[in-house]
Chains A and B, each alone.
Chain A
Amino acid sequence: MLILKTLSLAIIFITCAILGYCYGQRFTLRYENLVSLEQCIKILETEIVYGATPLPTALSNVYKKGNPRVSYIFEKIKDDLLEKKRSFVFESFLEIEDELYGKMNLKKEDVEIMLSLGRVLGSSDRHDQSKVFKIVLNQIEAQIEDAKIEKNKNEKLYRNLGVLAGIGLIILLV
């Protein structure tokens, strides 16, 4: 009986600790993904503005060069663009919107910035697009700063809270 009790208490404690850890991890994930996304957009900028590569090839190159944890969405955009023969790139960007929210833990502002890039890509000349790239990169920079502050503030807090909540539950149950 004692063993069973100890075991169940240990399971409760570990679950709480893991929950806290996972909750704290979301902030790190958002920060890392934003940094990778910035890199990918920089690669895309180089491809389009300096290389004058056609968009599907450029997107494919981003997928190959960027951090695969984030750059796979560019491959998805490319596939969607070619398979469904989209007339606007923005429609393909909308297709991956859920992916940005779900897997990558991005906030609404981050996703909006990404979508605003989709509105302009392939719809105007190089000069115009380079300006938009600059604005988007600036905005992402600000978001990264914001994510960093949030991460420093919350990550440790939620990890500690998880462990402490586990201890609290154990005290209440014993």
Chain B
Amino acid sequence: MEIDLILKITGLGILVGIIHSLLNKFGKEEYAFIVTVVGLIVAFSMVVSLISKLFENLKVIFRL
């Protein structure tokens, strides 16, 4: 398995968390929200190919 990807997403998560709390602390809640959403999108774009692969495999396994 690609352990690199998991580590990368973990790092991204920690970073987004820090930025979120930092922006919240300085009273910029709307930017904090945007940063969280952007982080989510980036993380999704990293795993979307893996998820599609998972569904393909499910289809094959259950003969759907």
Residues of A within 8 A of B (CB): 153-154, 156-157, 160-161, 164, 167-168, 171-172, 174
- CA of A83 to CA of B17, assembled, Å: 59
Name the contact of B15 in the complex, choosing from A154, A156, A157, A171 (C-beta under 8 A): A171
* A157 proximity list for chain B (CB < 8 A): 22-23, 26, 28
- CA of A156 to CA of B22, assembled, Å: 10
A153 with B26: CB separation less than 8 A: yes
Judged by a CB distance under 8 angstroms, whether B12 is at the interface is yes
Per-position binary interface string of chain B over residues 28-56, scored 1 when its CB falls under 8 Å from any chain A CB and 0 otherwise? 10000000000000100000000000000
B12 with A171: CB separation less than 8 A: yes
Number of residues of chain B lying within 8 A (CB) of chain A: 12
A-B contact pairs, 11 of them (CB 8 A): A153-B26, A154-B26, A156-B26, A157-B26, A157-B28, A160-B22, A161-B19, A164-B19, A164-B22, A168-B15, A174-B8
8 other A-B residue contacts (CB within 8 Å) besides A161-B23, A164-B15: A153-B27, A156-B26, A164-B19, A164-B22, A167-B15, A171-B12, A171-B15, A172-B12
Distance from A163 Cβ to chain B, minimum over Cβ atoms (Å): 10
